[in-house]
Every structure is written in structure tokens, then in C-alpha cells.
Structure 1
Amino acid sequence: MAGALPDGEPVPPDGSLPDDATRDVGANGFAVYVHVPFCASRCGYCDFNTYTAGELGGGASRDEYASTVLRELDLAAKVIQPGRVDTVFVGGGTPTLLSPSDLGRILEGIDRTWGLSSGAEVTTEANPESVDPAGLRALRSAGFTRISLGMQSSAAHVLRVLDRKHTAGRAPQAAIEAREAGFEHVNLDLIYGTPGETEEDFARSLRTVVDAGVDHVSAYALIVEDGTRMAGRMRRGELPYPSDDVAADRYLAAEETLAGAGFQWYEVSNWAKKDGECRHNLLYWTGADWWGLGPGAHSHVGGVRWWNVKHPATYAGRLDDGVSPGHGRELLTAGDRHVEDVMLRVRLREGIALDRVDRPAAARALAGGLLEPAAYDAGRLVLTLRGRLLADAVIRDVVP
């Protein structure tokens, strides 16, 4: 389970927002995130707001979860009317521990409340072992257009270190089944730099995702979060800590293999084939509004960010009482929003206009080979491959 939430300022009992926050809601796009906090077991590296059956305790029911989320949606409808929903993303946890009919009920509720735009992207995450061909067909029939599968690695020994429960071959097979079920877009997630992973292990994982026929790949370096089982094993000396040099080598291997297979990076950790970009994440990264449904979910509308209480039982109890499940919120200043916009857009292939960053710092990054010269001459900051390896450092320097 994730750490404690910040307090922020209180959220009004009815969840209402300042008038200036709702005036132009959805002008830059509107997304809905639905958090499903259930997992069959806990992966050793995970610090997300998720709960196994033994961790839930009383007052929280997976069977009633869809109805609980729909009650928050009823509250949300009284707060904002964005006009349409461009994307929906159901994440977790393991959303597909809910039945396709329950996930479909939530999607129907979103459409009934705010209206899905024509051609809306609708994604669910899934663990490979939590789906089968019949369930995938049911999800597709319910209106889901995209699925993101947590593969992490094709090496069995790496999956064991990560405490993943699926077999090495299950993720690519699930991706193939999703395509056969009619999903327009399929993503496979990879984690690199796990203790014990070899260069050949990762090369094989990359070949596996390419051969699976997906149109999107997310690849992230292993991050060891405090409080996780993996962090404890490393403190005790049972596992070595990840190596930054190894992570850089893995990233270069990912770029070489994926680019050679027709993928193009569009965010530092994400590659897609033509028209395969995750539109939901792009809305996050380009300053859109979104409402997050579910325990621990975060939302952002018009410069107001808020976050729900974490535990599913507390979340359900708030809604049973007819009050917002919001734990706290913050009102972002124009300066706050500008800094966040720079931090996110620098990571994108399109980059950001030079007049929005610190120009002397950008000039130093250009001289260091971290920025594309042609883009710079055209007035934009765009990372080179080397710049992507050092993206965090570039961002720290160019934030004005």
C-alpha cells in the first residue's frame, strides 16, 4: 500500500469547486480515470494504492465496487459538466479482477453522465493472468478500445524477483488474444534493470513484445520505493540495488530495437506505432482536465488538484453518507501550473517552445548534445537520445 496522502486544504462536503476552475472545464480536453484498488497478490516493487483480499478488512466489497464508483460519478455530475469525455482509463490494482459486466457498467455510467466523445479512447489495465479470450471479447463488446498488459519481462527468473504471478509466455499470448478479440490498441509494459536481469534477458523481452504485434510499449527503469518488499530485501542485502549505468544501457537497447521495428518514441518512456499513442496520457501531459474516480484517485480541474481517501472502506463510507470522498486539495498558482507544464512537456517528442523555459540553461543543454539543433533553431526544446537519458537533469535546469 502507498504511503500517507498529503492533507492539503479540506474538500467541501459536496465536492464543489471554485467558479473560476469550472468556467472552461474541458477546453483542453477532458479525461476520466477510474481506480480499481484490488489485487490478487502484491508485487514486491509495488507501492500503489492497492489491496489484496487479506488487506481489505471489513466494509469494502469488490462485488459492490462498481455501484460505489457510480455514486461518486453522481456527485461529480453535480460539480462539473465538461460537455464530453475524450478518454477513459481504468487502472489499478488489477481492474480485470472486476467482471467485464461491472467494468461495462462503470463505462456506461460515464457515458450517461457526461457523454463519450465520438471515437473516445477507452483503456483498461490488466494483468496477463487475469484475462482470457472470452473476457477480452466481453470487454471489447462493453466499449473498451485499448488494453494495457503488465508484462514486465519475458524471463521467468526476473518475474520471480518482481513477485509477478504470470508465466513468461502469458503476457504476449494475452496481447495476441486481445487483438483477436478486436482491441484496436494493445500495450505491453516492461520493467528493466531488475536485479539478476541480463542484457540478453532484456533483449529477449524486447523481441517478445515486437513479435506479439502490439502497437504500444511502455518501458520503465525499476524504481525501488520505500516500504515495499523489494526495498526490504535490498536493505537486508538479499538483492543488489539497481544500477544507473545498466538502466541507461537497457534504455538504449529499447530505443534501438523498438525504432527498428517501426515504433517511435513520443514520451521518454513510451513508444508507439503510427496512431498508437495513448491519448489519455497525452491529455495528462498537455494540461487537460480530468476527474479521478475511486479510492486514492487524483483529479485536476482548472488548476484545482484533489485526491480521494485511500482505503476502499473509507471511500465507500463517505459516499454512503452522501459526501465527497475527497481527502484534500490544493489550488495551483499560475506559476505552479507553468512549472508542471514544463516538467511534462520536455519529456514529449514535440518538446516545448523555448520561450517557456530558461534560455541560458537550454543553450547549455544544446551545447552538451542534449537537445536537437534543428528543433532549437526553430524555437523548440526537443531532447536528443542522450538528452532522454538525462531528462530529469535537463528538466531541473530549464524550469524557469
Structure 2
Amino acid sequence: MTSPTGRALPTGPTGRTIVVLDERETPAPDLLRRLGVSCVSARDLPRGGGAPGASATSAAAAPSDGGELPAGTAVVLDALGIAIMTEPPGILLEAAQDPGAAVVSAEPEVWVHATATPPVAPPAGGAFADTATAAWGLLATGVVGAGAGAASTPWDGDGVVVAVLDTGVDAEHPDLAGRIVTARSFVDGEGAHDRNGHGTHVAGTVAGAREPAGGGPRYGVAPGARLLVGKVLGDDGSGTSGGVLEGLNWAVEQGAHVVSMSLGTPVAVGEPHLRYYEAAARAALAAGTVVIAAAGNDGPEPVNSPANCPSVMAVAALDTRLRRADFSCIGLNGDGGEVDIAAPGVAILSAHPLALAPTAVLDGTSMATPHVSGLAALAAQATGSRGRDLWEHLVTTAAPLADSARDVGRGLAVAPPHSS
């Protein structure tokens, strides 16, 4: 796997361990202290070289420069009941093997990457194409009517908060003006500004302006939604599962209704999901937050992690014929490894950092995921649904497609109908 500059990106375990704790009777910090582990809350860590929204550290165990924590120290994600550690003590690892212990699991942190691919020409004979007024994904999902001059859905996501966990955002982009509540980096040494392009593109699809500043077709699904932007992938498009969990923990604490994650790690046939991702997604659902993630771009290979968790909504990519895109991963593994839903993911126009270009066209399940996240914002506004109810609304209202459930799940995610 390589970065946009051609540099090889890291893969596999990072060397840290992520621990899931059973908090039904005792808070996570107390459980860890009983095992002799010193703790620091994730909210007290300096991140990203003073990124917007980052708090000053107040814990004695936290480093003053945002660097590595002392060995054996646990970073506690309070909203998720999870801790991230370097060199966890043997007693903790032993506790993870005891079904009666308060330590549910201890698994390796892994590298994750953005899930976009170089754009290719859309297939011939596609049913949809961009028009002068709307990008084809908005037409296909019913956000904008297909007829000339047809009205858009009356819903715009007003009052709904969507967290985008990605490579950051260009907060100066005019099509995102007034939509970003706050942005915070969870990548050491990097601020929340997007120098990659991936995160700004995703944010634009979720909530770009109804009328783009530079003219051209509308591409934002939910222009009334508010955005929380967590930079969990560096400018090279890579990050760690621990960083993703830190961002998710922050998003839940900030009251996000939807979390959009266009990122992942490939998995093998028969490989189970990581228990810490599933625990985090369950905690998010219980807090009223739906986690939506990209299925992956490895072709007919298993759905990537974390989309392969039962409590994470896995999104496949469709081409302009509304068929599964050739690169989109499929549901080869059970127990959460299925595709849940599908959305446009080929030749997707959206915002881009202004220093690179104001807009760009990209392919990927990364591009399909923010379509579903934006549609979730519309549905949350239209129905008042949150958490598991919002999930059920999205999958039960999906439009059937020609491809099998293995490839596209319940079908095409669509906008809520006009109110009567």
C-alpha cells in the first residue's frame, strides 16, 4: 500500500495493545488501577501540535510534548470503555483470558488507511450522470429530483451532527463555510488541516453547500447538517486503529448523531472482527450514534475492518449503472462481515483542499460512505430516529438492486420521502 506520493505506508500491528473493559460495575480507570496500571484520559492528551479543540494535558502521566506515554500507561477512552497501552503488564493480558474477569479482550492496534482509488472512466451506458445542477449521486439517491427543474428533498439535515473521521478538512473551503462546528487532530505532530484531500472530499459529500460557491452541480447530501471533523489519518492517508477509536470517543462525547469513517484495514477470509471496534460501535449506538464505514476497495475480498463489525454499517460502492463497483469489497465473512447497504462511489465530485483544487472527482467506498452518512442526517431530521432506530430506518428503506446482498447488502440508500 502506498501514499499519494508513492511512499510505502505501514501495515499490520503497531506494537500497542487495545483493551476492552467491562464497566457494568466499575469505571474503566478504577479497573485498570486495580491491576496496577496508571491511566490518563484521552481528553487530557495534547494532539496534533495544538490542533483546534485540543485540550491542554492535566494528567501527570501525560507527556508534555504529545509524544509517547510511559510504558504501561493506559490512555482511557471514557465514552467507549476502552484503553490503549504500550507494553501492557502480564496481569492484564492474563485477565483478558479469564471469562470472569473485567478485562473483555486485549488485541493489537493496527494501521488503517483511507479507502479511495484513482478515478477511472464511468462504465458505458450508466443510468446516471452529473447534470448542471446536481452530482449523479444525489440524483440516484433521491436527494435531488431527476426531472428538469425538479425540487430537492425538503430535508437538509438541520439539527443533526455528523462526525467525519478522516484526513482532516480545509476549513476555509467556501462550500463548507458555517458547517464545521470544530475540528481536532488525533495525529501527533499534525493539525486538523487536510493536506491530503480525502477528508475534505468526504466532508463535502456529507454537507457541502446547496449552491457551490464556484458554480457547478450541487454535491452535498445534507447541507444543513453540522460537522465535527476528527483528523485520525495523517496527510499520507494512514493512521492507527487507536487513533480512530480516540476520534470515535471524542465524537460520541461531542454528541454526534452519525460518524462517517472512510477508512479501513484489509482482512482475510475467515478472519474475525476486532472486538475493540465492535465494543466501541456498540457503545456509540447505545449513546444514540450510528457508525458508518467503508467496506473497502480490495475487489471481491472480505469487507474491511472496522466495517466488518456487526454494529458498524458497512457501505459498498455503486457505479453509474447502480451495479457494484469492481473495486468494492463483498460479504465473504459472517458475524458482521456482511455488506449492509450501498451508495454511489464512482466518479464522485466533491470538495477538495483549495491549495490543490476546489473540487475533485474520486472513486471508492470512501466516496459511497459519506453519501450514506449524509442520508442518515436527512433521515434523522425527518424521523427523529437515533442510534439503532436510525440504522433500521436506513436499511429498511433501501431500494432493491440487481446485485446480490453479498455485494450490496439491503440495496441503495435513499433520501426520506417528502412529508405529506
With the length of structure 1 as denominator, give the TM-score of the two structures: 0.30
Bigger fraction of residues in helix:
1
